[in-house]
Chains A and B, each alone.
Chain A
Amino acid sequence: MKSNILILEPDRVLSSIYSKYLSENRYKLFSAYKVEDALELLDQHKIDIILMELQISGHNGLEFLYEIRSYPEWDDIKIIINSIYQLDNINSLTLDLLNISKILYKPEAKLITLLNVVNDLSSNKTV
């Protein structure tokens, strides 16, 4: 059974494209443009994977991640960061602590790349 994916992406054009593409590949999608909406969706639905941008208007994406990881019931959610900025200055300790499954650099992450990562995470392969 395919996973439920939450897309947290402030840009609506990209959010729409990711959503259409992944749902054509049989995933169930939920979209949020801001952190509050994402938290509400997490409360309401069983989410397996979060695909998110770190740079969100008015919020720090890392704080959102810390918050998610503070709830044991959300421990198993796999997180893919798909960021428009290079994330060289986030150290590996932070990544381990937040249990981030994959970091993608948006300019290089084609739709097919996203799909492959999501497929692998869905089937529990190490990515």
Chain B
Amino acid sequence: MALQFQQLGVQKSYSDLELKNLFFSLAEDLKLPLIQISRIAEFSKNTNETKLLRQIEAIADNSLHLIDSFILNSSLQNLGNLESLQPVSVNASLQDSAHLLSKYAENNNCNIEIEITGKLEPILANPNALKSAMINLGKVFINYEKERQNNSSNNPKCYVKLASHRTRSGIAAGVFTDSRSINSKILRQAKKIHGKAINPMNQLVSNNGIGIFIADILLKQMSSGLRVAYHHKQTGLAATFSPSHQLELV
């Protein structure tokens, strides 16, 4: 069983230091939404603006999702990898994730697209962790696209794509955009310094980009983790999964 597990190329648990760094990044990233909630609440004490209350609700929901993702990862670590993995349809998972991201995208005037290439075999994964990872990634990319749109005079269309495709080493699934700013060097550097430096993804987003690191740690439970990837002419972050052979005879 241990050999099979190794052959699947599944990562071992994160070390204590990596978890500590992730927790540090999470804590720093949660400051901003909590400040937003506090200031909006302070401001709206004397107004009847329901739009502000909706903003508070959205911010609180997103923060809770971030915390939940972190807790999910911690519980997966405690459960042990083998018990938490099962055959999962990556396309169905992407569709679910896109649906759950749609409200966040709408609030940020961004479109979500899904591109599913043909019929892909099930992958060995934890369904909740996979969905959570894609949602976290999706949110970081939406923020990134939104900032890019705000900073550009051309007013580029704001959209992110959740996509999957077959690769030589398995099935890749991730989030992609038209931007060329994401590259391996930035990702590698950010993974090295997150938890130790403020704003490790400075070139991309103005906050800590914690969603990427949470997605990475969740995906490492069932794949080799996040890497820069390409989907047709788009760049993004994706993980490659091994197909599950458990349902081949079904």
Bound pair (A, B): yes
Q: A14-B36, A17-B36, A111-B39 are in contact. List 14 more A-B contacts (CB 8 A).
A: A11-B32, A12-B150, A21-B43, A33-B150, A34-B151, A55-B198, A55-B206, A58-B202, A58-B203, A84-B32, A106-B31, A106-B35, A107-B34, A107-B35
B64 within 8 A of A: no
B199 within 8 A of A: yes
List the A side residues contacting B151 at CB < 8 Å: 33-34
Give B198 Cβ to nearest chain A Cβ, in Å: 6
A17-B43, A20-B43 known; A56-B206 Cβ under 8 A:
yes
Are A17 and B40 closer than 8 Å at their CB atoms?
Answer: yes
A66 within 8 A of B: no
B59 within 8 A of A: yes
For A83-125 the 0/1 string (1 means CB < 8 A from B) is 0110000000000000000000011001110000000000000
Q: 8 Å CB contacts to B: which residues of A70-93?
A: 84-85
B74 within 8 A of A: no
Give the residue name and chain of the B residue nearest to A12 (CB).
B150
Partner of B205, one of A13, A57, A85, A111: A57
B102 within 8 A of A: no
B147 within 8 A of A: yes
Give B27 Cβ to nearest chain A Cβ, in Å: 11
Give the residue name and chain of the B residue nearest to A84 (CB).
B31
Are B36 and A55 closer than 8 Å at their CB atoms?
Answer: no
Of the four ranges (under 10, 10 to 19, 20 to 34, 35 or more), the interface on chain B belongs to 20 to 34
List the B side residues contacting A55 at CB < 8 Å: 198-199, 206
Q: Which residues of A contact B (CB under 8 A)?
A: 10-14, 17-18, 20-21, 33-34, 55-58, 84-85, 106-107, 110-112
B89 within 8 A of A: no
For B23-62 the 0/1 string (1 means CB < 8 A from A) is 0000010011011101110110000000000010001000
Q: Can you give 26 contacting A-B residue pairs, CB < 8 Å?
A: A12-B150, A13-B40, A13-B59, A14-B36, A14-B39, A17-B36, A17-B39, A18-B39, A21-B43, A33-B151, A34-B151, A55-B199, A56-B206, A57-B147, A57-B202, A58-B202, A58-B203, A84-B31, A85-B198, A106-B31, A106-B35, A107-B34, A107-B35, A110-B38, A111-B39, A111-B42
A58 to B203, CA, bound (A): 5
Give B176 Cβ to nearest chain A Cβ, in Å: 21
List the B side residues contacting A17 at CB < 8 Å: 36, 39-40, 43
A106 to B31, CA, bound (A): 9
For B191-216 the 0/1 string (1 means CB < 8 A from A) is 00000001100110110000000000
Give B73 Cβ to nearest chain A Cβ, in Å: 25
A106 to B36, CA, bound (A): 10
Give the residue name and chain of the B residue nearest to A57 (CB).
B206
List the B side residues contacting A18 at CB < 8 Å: 39
Are A110 and B42 closer than 8 Å at their CB atoms?
Answer: yes
Give the residue name and chain of the B residue nearest to A106 (CB).
B35
List the A side residues contacting B34 at CB < 8 Å: 107
A33 to B150, CA, bound (A): 9
A62 to B214, CA, bound (A): 30
List the A side residues contacting B203 at CB < 8 Å: 58
Are A111 and B32 closer than 8 Å at their CB atoms?
Answer: no
8 closest A-B pairs by beta carbon, nearest first, are A57-B206, A10-B206, A13-B36, A17-B39, A111-B42, A17-B43, A21-B43, A106-B35
